[in-house]
Amino acid sequence: MTNEGEPTLYVNRWGDTSDPDPGGRWSYQELCSCFSPSKPRPRARVGFHTEQQDTSAPGWRHLLELVEEAAADGREEFRPLTGLSPEERRQVVTLPPTIAKLSAVRHLVLYGSNLVRIPPEIGAMTSLEEFTPYTSYRLHWFPYEITRCRNLTRSTVSTRALFGNYKLRPPFPRLQPSQDSVTGLDPAHLDPRRRGATAVHSCSICDLPISQRGLHQVWISIRVATDVLPLLVNACSPACVDALPDGAEDYIATPHKGGRIDQPPSDWG
């Protein structure tokens, strides 16, 4: 029984990644102003985060080491941010493709990250059961490949930061026109301002190489574990787009190109 004058202690379920200076000089998170997290503006214009990962940064190199360590020891829980200094965390805006090696990880914790995108290689984390990117306020969307994590049943996501979320209905970035051939486009070196991703190697649906096909990008919002997530699909053909499931209830029902598309009313109020 706790004495009346003693403070109550609360356990941080996601590790020591609390930020004492949010948005300040020593913060490990950049501020995000893509859309208001407290005011619905469904007809506003939004875009993708354009930052590209500096692969020479100490934080990135340290993260690569942590991924290799986790792959080698077969750990079931991976909390990479707790192994980085605040400055190093700020230097990391995505995860490396080598997360595909983390086939034993059951819980991925990215609490309070500075990430702006998750690579499609997360789909190779086939043992993943719980995903915690909570308070990663610059993560507005996820790759469709996360649906390959068949065991994923629990998630903790800051949903107000998501494109199309039911509270605020912020718009989706307008996607580029579909291409039946990637001739003239280097899928391994893409402009995230235009494509969202910095590289697309294979189809999100059939996994065939994009370099041998086309590139048809669409949005779809479906339930993944606990939350409805906006997913960016990089399909190789119209047939693969047609194979997508329906959107979640109370979300846009079919795959779409984003922009000022009509959404269901927000739940604001």
C-beta of residue 236 within 8 angstroms of C-beta of residue 216 = yes
| Mean pLDDT on 96-117 | 97
As a whole number of angstroms, the distance between CA 13 and CA 89 comes to 19
Examine residue 129 and state whether it is found in any structural domain, yes or no: yes
Examine residue 98 and state whether it is found in any structural domain, yes or no: yes
Query: 191 pLDDT band (50/70/90 cuts)?
Result: very high
Examine residue 125 and state whether it is found in any structural domain, yes or no: yes
| Mean pLDDT on 26-38 | 79
Q: What is the pLDDT of residue 27?
A: 64
As a whole number of angstroms, the distance between CA 36 and CA 15 comes to 28
Q: What is the pLDDT of residue 17?
A: 54
Examine residue 4 and state whether it is found in any structural domain, yes or no: no
Within a 13 Å sphere around the CA of 125, how many CA atoms are in the beta-carbon half?
31
pLDDT at 112 over 50: yes
As a whole number of angstroms, the distance between CA 129 and CA 91 comes to 27
Examine residue 84 and state whether it is found in any structural domain, yes or no: yes
Query: What letter would DSSP give residue 215?
Result: B
Examine residue 49 and state whether it is found in any structural domain, yes or no: no
pTM listed for this prediction:
0.89
Coil, helix or strand at residue 256: strand
At 133, list the tokens: 């990117």
Q: What is the pLDDT of residue 26?
A: 45
Examine residue 237 and state whether it is found in any structural domain, yes or no: yes
pLDDT at 134 over 70: yes
pLDDT at 24 over 80: no
Examine residue 45 and state whether it is found in any structural domain, yes or no: no
For the chain, give the percent of residues with pLDDT over 70.
Answer: 89
Query: 6 pLDDT band (50/70/90 cuts)?
Result: very low
Give the pLDDT confidence of 224-249 residue by residue, as tens digits: 999 999 999 999 999 999 999 999 99
At 81, list the tokens: 């941010």
Q: What is the pLDDT of residue 269?
A: 58
Q: What is the pLDDT of residue 102?
A: 98
Coil, helix or strand at residue 66: helix
How many domains does the chain contain in total?
A: 1
Q: What is the pLDDT of residue 1?
A: 38
Q: What angle do CA 177, 238, 45 make, to 5 degrees?
A: 35
Give the pLDDT confidence of 43-90 residue by residue, as tens digits: 678 999 999 999 999 999 999 999 999 999 999 999 999 999 999 999
CATH of the domain at 238: 3.80.10
Q: What is the pLDDT of residue 100?
A: 98
**Backbone φ/ψ region at 47: left (φ over 0), alpha (ψ -120 to 50), beta:** beta
Domain enclosing residue 203, as ranges: 58-242
Neighbouring residues of 162: CB distance < 8 A, sequence distance ≥ 6: 139, 140, 141, 170, 229, 230
Q: What are phi and psi of 11, to 5 degrees?
A: -85, 130
Coil, helix or strand at residue 242: helix
